[in-house]
Structure 1
């Protein structure tokens, strides 16, 4: 993990070495982050319950309609502020994050206040997964080989949930996740069979599962 002040190439802290090239770049969507990282729907439901409770209590106590409406409106102001802040933070994370797949590694650039970059060479990737959602976005968690580890809090929210002891970095909430998974699977397969990146352009329709380690088990199932 590196901190840096400039990007000679967008999303990368340094120029690419000779023979390495970019295959794909993308970022998480604001909506995916708000829904699946910050659970904005549950928070909205919480404030909706508070509104309903205040209204029901005012009606039960026999208050006039203006007081009932006032009681129901009381939770709306803090609710709107909280939901607005969540959406703003999701927007900032999406805006400052960029995932890059090259012919030899993945690079995560993120950090709202202080940009950081995490380089994940293909040689340390033991496996990759794919989980897609109905809106077309998806998550691609990565399993690292051997004793290679990253601190969970250092890469959050770009980490698989609840994998704290051995964190798994994750491309989170990306659009067209299936196509990105195919790109990653092809790059991993090309790297395993021949580290020469020139031949990577010949790989198409790469197998998404069943490859030897490092595996690319990217057969995702839509989430409900």
Structure 2
């Protein structure tokens, strides 16, 4: 199913954008986070799964002295069951977040439609992006982080998990856990270079006739 046919974006004139594109602007790329990678990278899925495995092993090991390993093994079942439930909940939250997200790169900007409960679209014109960094994420995906210029203040809690982790003082928006991140970064770099090298023409002040 294409984004144009996705019912989650039917209310938008352009999928992922709150309004139609201005004349001369076109979309270069659409994408969203990969669910399992997002759960592992931003929600600690791997750590939580590991915690319950260690907890189960510790419980069995403590009881094996009296019961033997075979007799103590069933004691791990409740802990492993809780771990499966916890991991399923986290994966479900990541799925909802990924489903509600649509990242867009156009010839003029990066747009991020994010938020499962409170939906918002963050527009980042290329001229307001100071730098961009790419980092590998779990599952062969990658994350592109943007450092913005100026005094624009962004909310870490509102944008989470679409931010660089733990950078709360200077919030850095991010395209989290996207497939083919290096190819996407190349698309961004080329479009930003073209856009920022274009001369900007502003309206000249109205001439005042001599009296």
When the two structures are superposed, what TM-score results if normalisation uses the length of structure 2?
Answer: 0.84
**Residue 81 of structure 1: aligned partner:** 85
- Residue 64 of structure 1 and its aligned partner are, at CA, apart by 9.0
Equivalent position of 2:60 in the other structure: 55
1:145-180: per-residue Cα shift (whole Å, max 9, x none)?
121221111111100112110101011101101110
1:59-99 Cα shifts (integer Å, max 9, x gaps): 12337955x23311121221111010011111111111110
Q: Which residue number in structure 2 is paired with residue 130 of structure 1? A: 134
Preserved contact between residue 20 and residue 102 of structure 1 (Cα < 8 Å): yes
**Cα distance in 2, alignment partners of residues 137 and 195 from structure 1:** 35
- Among residues 28, 44, 48, which one is paired with 1:43 in the alignment? 48
Q: Which residue of structure 2 lines up, in the alignment, with residue 103 of structure 1?
A: 107
Q: Does 1:177 align with 2:202?
A: no
2:195 counterpart (163, 183, 191) = 191
Q: Is the 8 A contact 2:28 2:105 kept in 1?
A: yes
Alignment counterpart, residue 167 of structure 2, candidates 159, 163, 179:
163
The number of residue pairs the alignment matches comes to: 192
TM-score (norm 1): 0.80
**Residues of 1 paired with 2:75 and 2:138: CA distance?**
37
- Report the counterpart of residue 22 of structure 2 in structure 1: 17
Deviation at 1:136, TM superposition (A): 3.0
Q: Give 1:133 shift.
A: 4.4
Change (3 A) 1:75 1:130: same
Distance 1:133 1:38, change over 3 A: closer
Partner of 2:203: none
Contact residue 5 and residue 115 of structure 1 kept, 8 A: no
Counterpart in 2 of 1:215?
A: none
Residues 89-142 of structure 1, C-alpha deviation per residue, up to 9 Å, x if partnerless? Answer: 111111111100111111101111232111111121111111124743111110
Write out per-residue CA displacement over residues 27-67 of structure 1, whole angstroms, 9 at most, x where no aligned residue.
1101210111112111111101111111112212337955x
The higher radius of gyration belongs to: 2
Change (3 A) 1:46 1:117: same
Counterpart contact for 1:33–1:90, Cα < 8 Å: yes
In structure 2, distance between residues paired with 1:89 and 1:139:
19
CA distance in structure 1 between the partners assigned to 2:96 and 2:108 by the alignment: 28
